[in-house]
Structure 1
Amino acid sequence: MIAAAAALVAAIAAAIGRRAPEALVALVGAALLLVFGVLEPDAALDEAESLASTLIVLASLLVLGDGCERAGLFDALAARMAARARGSGPRLLGYVFGAAVAVTAVLGLDATVVLLTPAAFAAAAKARLAGRPHVYACSHLANSASTLLPVSNLTNLLAFSATGLSFAGFAAHMALPTAVAIAIEWIVIRRVFRTALAAPGTTPDAAPPPLPRRPLVILALTLAGFVVAEPLHLDPAWPAALGALAMVPRIRAIDFPLLAFVLGLSLIVRALADAGLADIAADVLPSGTGLLALLGATFLAAALANTLNNVPALLVLLPAAAAAGPHIVLAVLIGVNAGPNLTYTGSLATLLWRRVLHQQGEQVSHREFHLLGVLSVPPILVLGTVALWLTV
């Protein structure tokens, strides 16, 4: 367990510090665990085989996001949001919220962080409004709104099969918790940034360009493919891959280092689980469909996500959660998705968001970040789990 834990710490440290390629660190760590017998070859093959479909869907979503950016979708979206805000900070925030929820749900939280955050900056600049409320909205909704669909977050993709639900069934269970999370984020961000949002802006003179239709049609067809795949007994990887090929038929658009990092990280966590952590998680994780059991699973997952990072936390808890029942799996997802808004290291998406801000010349206020987290995360965890319990 010590060897596997050391490999996990090294992989996460590489992802956070970026002083060494995180994919290489994760794969080397997994290879060393195999060489020294900490991870059995059969277990590694089983883990890699179970991840194959998830990695295909993840790669396809990244390609879809890249294609949308190349087609000018996010530039056109920024211009439209700035024009329709008509110099109003709250109105622009509403458009950013809507865009962040839609992008997170369909393309995943990384697209919201990497592609929509610069668009929110651009929209605020065009309207001569403060940018901070809108970019914080992108960061928070990338995590808290990522519970809606199986494709909205890597954690959802990893846990989807364990829920035993269809694509539409997953969305039906998580719609109310996601709506609760969005409402809480709206109230908190409006309250914290009320002064900045009250300052008037201007309406841009130039008319916004039309939204490119091709990427929107491809996204709609891909989403429809996810919905009908289950009744047709098709793997979700098929509609994802077809959508990616239709959007950008180039293999270089695939982020192979990220896929390698996820594979290496999964193998390391499998070794950690086999070494005894899975048994500990099974002893600690509640079971059943009662409200207290669901709340316990949510807060345990959130605490582990802020300690280990959300993907390792999910991988550690998933076997025990799957054995405890599908609603425990969904409660764990609320914890590992919304919980990381409390700390910088809770989610890799938050770390990417900080880099995007630095590229835009914007400094992150530690006080603002943690204030937003303290005000929004606890009520989202509690009320989101209550909303999930109401669907049981």
Structure 2
Amino acid sequence: MTEHSEEKLFNKGFISITLINFVVYLVYYLLMVIIAVIAQDTLHASLGQAGLASGIYIIGTLIARLFMGKMLELLGRKAVLRYGALFYLITTIAYLYIPSIGILYLVRLLNGFGYGTVSTATNAIVTAYIPKSKHGEGINYYGLSTSLAAAIGPFIGMVLLNTMSFYFIILFSIVLIFLTTIACFIFPVKNIQLSPEHKASLSRWTFDSFIEKKVLFISFIAFLMGLSYSSVLSFLSSYAKAIDLVGASSFFFVVYALVITATRPLSGRIFDARGENAVMYPSFIFLTVGLLFLSMTTTSWMLLVSGGLIGLGYGTFMSNGQAVCLKASPTSHRIGIALSTYFIGLDLGLGVGPYLLGELRTILSFSGLYMVASSIPVICIVLYALFYRSKVIVHDSFSAE
């Protein structure tokens, strides 16, 4: 890349990898919203078995994130992206043959591993195409592909579920992943050149070779934010039925996506100009207010306003948390591990949230459940404030010496 192209954010590489990432996440969200229904209707699974069919995907994703953070640099980003996409395609094709719930579990686990591999690769690869002066803005535009997929995927999934067969939905997904796999093989990925010392440190089976300690705190905050947001992903449709707002609920994620699309570039520029605290604290506050508003919702406009506020909260945090990891990553060869550590936290929150909050649902109303979920970002504010205060104190004491 030339000096000029490095300073230009919307270069060919940045746009290409962002589009690839969009389709990878789109298929993930599309299948996530339909798989429990298919398990119950086609395989006559119980509610618990259907929930496991959805959740086991996250386990596959977490395994991939844990191993692929280091493999990105050891095997090369190019190989991980290309063969990960191929594996994602093969395991998506495997949905065409699911005679039993056990086979579905296996396919979901392997498909989750494929998705985790490709998304871990794209998250690291895009950093090579973002100018250092525009980390916040670049990650926010790239994160827009994930957020839009999180809104459009479930919407397409629900529409297809009501109008088409399961096999059509799978064939549709296969075509999308097939085109993405071709794009991954065409896309010119630049591998990081490792020094012998870096290669040796990544090759060891130590905690440091899998997890980046410098981003553990923000990854724990991501876990809590994912836990809080999982209440929306898991229970919104049931809650909408309970309060008789099914029609409006289909537009919830549309409002969420529109708000993120409108605010992402601005939050990225604020991050670059004023630092992470200027976007982190508002994201915690917006998610708290959005979930509180959702707990009190009685009309369509209230439901849609809460969708916008939750978008401002969780959507803003998701990509800016990624930018914090990029900023905290000590060297370029640790970026893959830093980002995989962050997404392990986020995915773990989204994965265990439905189970933990589902257990709470047995003793609380939906309204009570969303009030509990709204308290989690408040805990994030306290922890974040304490952590950054201690960081400043430590920094000051070192500089005083």
TM-score of the superposition, structure 1-length normalised?
Answer: 0.32
| Structure showing the higher helix proportion among its residues | 2
TM-score of the superposition, structure 2-length normalised?
Answer: 0.31
